[in-house]
Amino acid sequence: MTVVSQPVPKLAPKVIEDIRSKALTAAPRFLRKRYKSFRPRVNSTSGFLHPAGFAGPAELAAMQAGIEFQLQPVAAATKVLLTGEGVPRKYYSGGWAFRTDTPAEGYEGPMPMEKVMVDWGGVAAENQLCPFNYPEGAPQGSCAHVSLVEIDSMMSFKQAMAYLVTGNEAHAQLASDIILAWSTKNKEVGPRNKNGPLESAWSCSAMARAVELLRSSWPDFSKQTLSAYLNWLDEVLYPQMDFYTDVITPTALNNGRKHLYGNWHASVADCFVSAGILADDRVRYEKGVALLKKTTAEYFKWGRGEWAEWAGQARLVGESSETLRDIFHTQFGLGSLLQAAESAWIQGRDEYSTADYALAAAMEFHARIINARDARDETAMPPGYKFFESIPPAPEGCAWRWDMESQIWTSWGRPVNSSANGNRTAGSNATMVSGDDDDGDDDGPLKANATANANATGNATFAGSSANSAGSPVFVGVNTTANTIQPTVNATVNGSLAAASAPAYAPVSLANLAAYGPLAASSSDNATTGLPAVGPNVPGNTTSNSSLVALNATVTANATIDVNATVAANATIDVNATVAANVTLDSNTTAAANATLAVNATLNGTVDSNATVAPPPGPPPAVQCSVLNDGHKYVLGIKYIPAGWELGFNHFVGRLGMQMPETAAMLQRYPVDWYEFCW
């Protein structure tokens, strides 16, 4: 591959300022008038120009003039923004994809959530209620991520832009409503050691730019909205990102982690730069710029100096540390860095030139990969590159895995016939230990003294020492506060009859509920179970969620049956026995006094006193089968997403006159976009 050097001017802040001043002076009178309409100002403390974001007052004035005179590509970009025509959609399993247009009316949101806890991959880290207006068909297991990042955050910026291009205040109002809703309702984003920092970064950067635009252009913008948003940053979002940059990253580096900087750092840098400008917070902004520089230099170091070769392979200028992970995540990183660089450019700082214009080389390199994929022409890939489907088969029973730290493909698998199944029997004082399920009982939240959600079905009674329920289980226990009761026809809640028209999720606070279950005994029995009202002789103070105790089963005082456990007919749980989550006891099984059945255990037989029964041993951990070293680089996840490409192309080609033929060819196939990908 040939690397071409292109001469570009050195753009110090004074040079940038002089060029802008001369360009504004030479601009037509009507354009200067539009420029002044945005009330450009420089904060005396921070030195930041406002409005800012992706566009300063000069860029916004030029945009509005382009719309008025239907100049291209501005007119086409406006159509794409408002209609979503041609914008690539992100489809989830089941076929759902969110809208790509920017409606002035009929928007489904905002969809704020008090708590956003997201695990790796965007899935829920704990049980959470999705917003009441969450779209039908959207993924329930990741509603926190989708609501915050992929719907509301992105839409806030699009709506602010739509107001600027149409003058329709409904767009501005929607953008403001989204920002205020999340700023006031959301109290926690996390976990900080999982996806919390990334969710915070994505939502921060898009909304910060939206607030900046609204503040400078919409007369009805409220200072209370700005104050609420900045407080949300300080109290909820910044702590997540600071923990990632100030604790997780240096700890990992001190522990010897290699090639650590990637799309997470880029996303955080984008947030810090954008939000720092909005708040006139020079310290936060400079922290973002430093992270932008460090990430750009580390992420795109390949093909230069000591990084020209790695693990026996030549590395090429433009590659990132995540290129061979997939092109999708690489664009997350590249796009965020381009967005941060553009925000800095509006403030007179040239961060596009960081690390010898590494961003320009990365754009061309990855555009070439996307072009080759779109053409289904593997020969058009960079030297040594192939589509992932061309990778040699892994050894039988193994699968290929890319490791960012080693930057190599290895295959991993398990020996054949490695799983074990079958029933277990333990004698007196026997021990077969399995280990903790490590879920903190979050999936069985209705323990005594807990705060819970509950369902009461027909003829259920929620007070006193007994209940007689049919259908769905009533999950309550002693000293439980059930905040979200859902009564149906003829359900009695604390002595009040819920009529047929009772609303779903009627807010009812019930303290000190005594029992649940047919013929529930007095609270002194202290048995803890969770039963869908089947079977007599069930002691009181029932708590756990979704366990099933069949007819004729006997549960003795002080026994504990945890979430999702199943106790079959005629089984007996004796005094002080513990049945852990997901355990199954077959018919005629007896768990004697003080016996413990560990998580996921299955029993058909007798567990004697003081015995501990573990589940069947699971499969052994995966082992490395092979290392791929055939001289080729295999790439997957090749799909264009509008992640800052337009911004970078406008700078390198439009402002500097560079040649970027691969990027030009790629962008020509896709709609001109007003930065659809804001997170």
Q: Please, are residues 556 and 575 in contact by the beta-carbon 8 Å criterion? A: yes
Top mean-pLDDT range of 87-96, 164-173, 622-631, 667-676 = 164-173
Q: What are the domain boundaries of the chain?
A: 72-252
Rg of the chain over Cα atoms, rounded to whole angstroms, equals 30
Residue with tokens 């006891």: 585
CA distance 450 to 40: 54
Residue with tokens 């029992």: 515
What is the share, in percent, of the chain residues with pLDDT greater than 90? 58
Range with lowest mean pLDDT among 47-51, 203-207, 217-221, 466-470: 466-470
Q: Which residue has the higher pLDDT, 148 or 476?
A: 148
Residue with tokens 């596009």: 352
Range with lowest mean pLDDT among 144-158, 312-326, 502-516: 502-516
* pLDDT, tens only, 286-308: 999 999 999 999 999 999 999 99
Residue 627's identity, in one-letter code, is: V
pLDDT band at 218 (very low <50, low <70, confident <90, very high): very high
The mean pLDDT of 485-502, rounded to a whole number, is 29
Q: Report the phi/psi class of residue 637: left, alpha or beta, with left for phi > 0 and alpha for psi in -120 to 50.
A: left
Per DSSP, which regions of 13-168 are E strands? 41-42, 49-50, 115-117
- Residue 394 CB neighbours (<10 A): 18
CA distance 556 to 574: 5
Nearest CA-CA partner of 322 in 307, 314, 336, 332: 332
What is the share, in percent, of the chain residues with pLDDT greater than 70? 69
The mean pLDDT of 324-338, rounded to a whole number, is 96
Range with lowest mean pLDDT among 201-210, 255-264, 557-566: 557-566
CA distance 371 to 377: 9
pLDDT band at 538 (very low <50, low <70, confident <90, very high): very low
pLDDT band at 181 (very low <50, low <70, confident <90, very high): very high
DSSP characters over 641-667: --SSHHHHHIIIIIIT----HHHHHHH
pLDDT at 359 over 80: yes
CA distance 41 to 490: 65
Residue with tokens 């120009």: 49
Range with lowest mean pLDDT among 34-38, 371-375, 407-411, 502-506: 502-506
Nearest CA-CA partner of 93 in 151, 138, 148, 42: 138
> What is the pLDDT at residue 166?
95
CA distance 38 to 35: 6
> What is the pLDDT at residue 72?
87
CA distance 608 to 615: 16
CA distance 277 to 321: 29
pLDDT band at 585 (very low <50, low <70, confident <90, very high): low
What residue spans of 350-464 are helical by DSSP H? 354-374
The pTM of the full predicted model, rounded to 2 decimals, is 0.73
Q: Which residue has the higher pLDDT, 180 or 535?
A: 180
pLDDT at 401 over 90: yes
Q: Please, are residues 468 and 460 in contact by the beta-carbon 8 Å criterion? A: yes
Nearest CA-CA partner of 605 in 583, 622, 624, 587: 587
> What is the pLDDT at residue 463?
27
The mean pLDDT of the chain is 77
Residue 563: burial class (beta carbons within 10 Å; 0-12, 13-18, 19+): buried
**Hey, what are 651's tokens?**
């700078």
Q: Please, are residues 112 and 131 in contact by the beta-carbon 8 Å criterion? A: yes
Q: Which residue has the higher pLDDT, 305 or 456?
A: 305
Partners of 491 in beta bridges: 498
> What is the pLDDT at residue 311?
86
> What is the pLDDT at residue 508?
26
pLDDT at 276 over 60: yes
pLDDT at 600 over 80: no
CA distance 262 to 244: 12
Nearest CA-CA partner of 236 in 148, 126, 352: 148
Nearest CA-CA partner of 259 in 209, 204, 315: 315
**Hey, what are 629's tokens?**
């070293």
Q: Which residue has the higher pLDDT, 318 or 73?
A: 318
pLDDT band at 104 (very low <50, low <70, confident <90, very high): very high
What is residue 613's three-state secondary structure?
strand
The secondary element (H helix, E strand) that includes residue 345 is: helix 327-346
> What is the pLDDT at residue 113?
97
Nearest CA-CA partner of 241 in 270, 185, 273, 198: 198
Torsion 121-122-125-129 (CA) sign: negative
Q: Which residue has the higher pLDDT, 619 or 162?
A: 162
CA distance 499 to 507: 15
pLDDT at 200 over 50: yes
Q: Which residue has the higher pLDDT, 20 or 602?
A: 20
pLDDT at 445 over 60: no
> What is the pLDDT at residue 346?
95
Partners of 635 in beta bridges: 387
> What is the pLDDT at residue 73?
86
pLDDT at 480 over 50: no
Q: Please, what's the b/e burial string for 509-539 (b: 16 or more CB within 10 A of its CB; e: otherwise)?
A: ebeebbbbbbebbebebbbbbbbbbbbeebb
CA distance 461 to 447: 19
Nearest CA-CA partner of 185 in 134, 232, 133: 232
Per DSSP, which regions of 306-345 are E strands? 309-310, 313-314
> What is the pLDDT at residue 568?
55
**Hey, what are 143's tokens?**
């509603």
CA distance 18 to 308: 38
Contacts of 110 (CB under 8 A, 6+ apart): 152, 177, 178, 181, 182
> What is the pLDDT at residue 642?
85
pLDDT at 610 over 80: no
Both ends of the chain: CA-CA distance in Å? 32
pLDDT at 542 over 60: no
The mean pLDDT of 623-639, rounded to a whole number, is 93
pLDDT band at 495 (very low <50, low <70, confident <90, very high): very low
> What is the pLDDT at residue 643?
84
Nearest CA-CA partner of 286 in 227, 329, 245, 335: 245
pLDDT band at 596 (very low <50, low <70, confident <90, very high): low
CA distance 305 to 124: 42
Range with lowest mean pLDDT among 116-125, 173-182, 466-475, 657-666: 466-475
Nearest CA-CA partner of 196 in 236, 251, 231: 236
The mean pLDDT of 71-98, rounded to a whole number, is 88
pLDDT at 310 over 50: yes
